[in-house]
């Protein structure tokens, strides 16, 4: 039987941290990353691709600020900026992937869906915004924006007078058009969806969709989407080949195989720290506990090597 996989590309898979973010850089990074998906396609997998947008939406927000400061161009709200990044990144992935498929003589449709994701407007995350977005401000500039727009700021640890806007990061609870995504991918198309964690929306008292100023974790949304469409496997592509216990310490250890019980114990013990890896592991765990066969966290360029990557299953 054919297998269905959801593949979550990290934002840094498309734009490296030391790059300016030119379209040439992003095109090349996208090509290097997407080439690694070909072996899954040749193996007969149906795939959905999700992606991060952290660097890109940050640049969009800075353009927002520059336009307001220089030309008095009205700023767009965060939900529109997320949608903007979704459309731009999905277009880039779709075009480049179509070219790779053509070179490999593979006939497949590639379809992008700008995806809204429902959250609870009363999620506890709205009482404690933690996700840093946009440019760095001085304290004086931050205070002015707090008074003018009601934004919240936290001091950046990287500089003396550096403040960044923080927004809530609520949990995803529903993927809009998830059944359409499932129908398309099971019909043989490669679907690009849920970029950047999705555009955060909620239902008002009349059942109408309303936007929220928030950013949803990409891996949590990708895990939920994988569960909702009945995916067999869930891949998180990052910049390291394995998950490590006690990363960066003399006790660092490769963790290649984990079951749900061991994964929960490692999370409770703080084995993974509080960095970017912990949310990825939680998303991978949620997928297998939600009925998925296997989650894999690995480095994009080594996806084809099955000896590389941390595999998380419900049981050994």
Catalytic positions, please?
11-12, 131, 218, 280
Residue 13 exposed, middle or buried by CB count within 10 Å (0-12, 13-18, 19+): buried
Separation in Å, CA 11 to CA 29, 47, 55, 238, 254: 11, 18, 7, 9, 24
**Sign of the alpha-carbon torsion through 165, 280, 194, 112:** positive
What SS3 state is found at 192?
A: strand
Closest CA to 8 of 258, 281, 202, 257: 281
Nearest to 50 by CA among 184, 194, 179: 194
Query: C-alpha angle 21/22/25, rounded to 5°?
Result: 85
User: Structure tokens of 38?
Assistant: 């070909």
The two tokens of residue 120 are 């609870």
How many C-beta neighbours within 10 Å does residue 180 have? 15
Please list the alpha-helical segments (H only) found in the chain. Answer: 23-34, 38-42, 54-71, 78-103, 139-149, 178-186, 218-228, 260-269, 277-289
Six-digit token pair at 98? 């179509």
DSSP string over 258-315:
EEHHHHHHHHHHTTTTTSSHHHHHHHHHHHHHTT-SEEEEEEGGGTT-TTSSEEEES-
Query: d(Cα 65, Cα 172) in Å, to the nearest integer?
Result: 28
């Amino acid at each position: 039987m054919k297998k269905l996989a959801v593949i979550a590309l990290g934002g840094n898979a498309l734009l490296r941290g030391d790059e300016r973010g030119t379209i040439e850089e992003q095109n090349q990074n996208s090509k290097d990353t997407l080439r690694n998906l070909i072996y899954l396609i040749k193996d007969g997998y149906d795939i959905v691709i999700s992606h991060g947008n952290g660097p890109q939406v940050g640049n969009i927000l800075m353009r927002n600020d520059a336009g307001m400061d220089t030309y008095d161009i009205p700023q767009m709200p965060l939900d529109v900026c997320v949608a903007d990044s979704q459309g731009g990144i999905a277009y880039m992935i779709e075009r480049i992937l179509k070219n790779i498929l053509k070179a490999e003589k593979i006939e497949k449709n590639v379809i992008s869906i700008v995806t809204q994701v429902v959250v609870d407007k009363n999620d506890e995350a709205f009482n404690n915004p933690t996700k840093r977005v946009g440019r760095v401000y001085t304290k004086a500039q931050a205070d002015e924006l707090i008074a003018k727009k009601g934004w919240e700021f936290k001091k950046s640890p990287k500089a003396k007078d550096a403040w960044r806007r923080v927004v809530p990061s609520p949990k995803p609870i529903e993927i809009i058009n998830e059944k359409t995504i499932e129908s398309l991918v099971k019909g043989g198309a490669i679907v690009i969806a849920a970029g950047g964690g999705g555009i955060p929306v909620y239902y008002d008292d009349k059942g109408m969709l309303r936007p929220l100023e928030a950013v949803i974790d990409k891996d949590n949304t990708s895990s939920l989407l994988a569960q909702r469409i009945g995916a067999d496997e869930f891949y998180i592509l990052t910049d390291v080949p394995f998950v490590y216990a006690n990363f960066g310490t003399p006790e660092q250890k490769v963790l290649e195989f984990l079951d749900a019980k061991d994964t929960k114990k490692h999370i409770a013990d703080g084995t993974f720290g509080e960095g970017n890896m912990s949310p990825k592991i939680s998303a991978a765990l949620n997928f297998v506990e939600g009925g998925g066969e296997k989650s894999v966290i690995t480095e994009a360029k080594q996806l084809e090597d099955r000896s590389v990557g941390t595999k998380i299953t419900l049981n050994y």
